[in-house]
Structure 1
Amino acid sequence: MTNQDFNGDTDFLEEVFFDELNQELELDTLIVNKRISVRYRRNDIKAVVKTHSLLFPRLIKVLLLDISSKGAAIHSDAKLRLKSRVSFFLQFDDGKRFTIEAVVANTQSAPRYGLKFSAYQTELADHLLATQTDLQFG
């Protein structure tokens, strides 16, 4: 293809060959936050983590920073170990309770921790959406 193929319109030719939108992009390099599900920032949900230690299981009151059907970000003054299994207890203002098995997936920003739920929580996702009053998404 030459410039003469477009009747001398070189601007059009440059657009065809150098169109930035026509490039193959590696999405992982563009997206810093790789979270797929919607994360809700809620301050109306009480949260507790129970560690799964044989000798000293502990109940730790935590601050819920954000939550989705796949995981949660929490703030805890107690240290949590990476890849440790925990039970995550949630209580909504309407009395609804959830018990979710999870793994501590992120400790790099301690005292902020990331929990990854062992299974997708459909009922939790539905309840989060149904009780959402303040539209703040993470």
Structure 2
Amino acid sequence: MTKPEQPSKEKVLEKISVQLARDLEAKVAQEDQIIREQAKRDSEIARIHAEREFEIMITELDRSNEMVEKYLSEYEQAKAGLSHDEKVELIDVLLIYQRHVAQIKKCQAQPNKPATKTKRRNFYIAILRSNAGWKAKDFKGMTFE
């Protein structure tokens, strides 16, 4: 009997390396396919989000345009509705108001002076007269302090 032929070590190693290379190529191709599908899904999701954000921006711009249009039409109506004399009168009222505001701010900026003894005495006597019916002669000879 003859011995069955055994392949040489090199041929076995070559077959194994070829098989491993095929398996590795298949695995790499499968991973590439998965990555491409994931990238495709991600790009689709990003496109959908971008469309939604774009729609939101458009609606906000429409709203702001409507507001601008509303205020512009109100301004045009007010501008068309006032005569020259009415405009001058409104400007005069505004100037008077600004002067009053300036005077108020000026007075508020000044430090308050304490009331003199005479002013305090007159103030308290006026209160006592109005509330309790006291007379000025009732306080003759009294000191304030």
1 or 2, which has the higher helix percentage?
Answer: 2
Structure 2-normalised TM-score? 0.22
**Which structure: larger Rg?**
2
Higher RCO structure, 1 or 2 (CA under 8 Å, sep 6+): 1
- TM (norm. structure 1) is 0.23
Structure having the higher strand fraction is 1
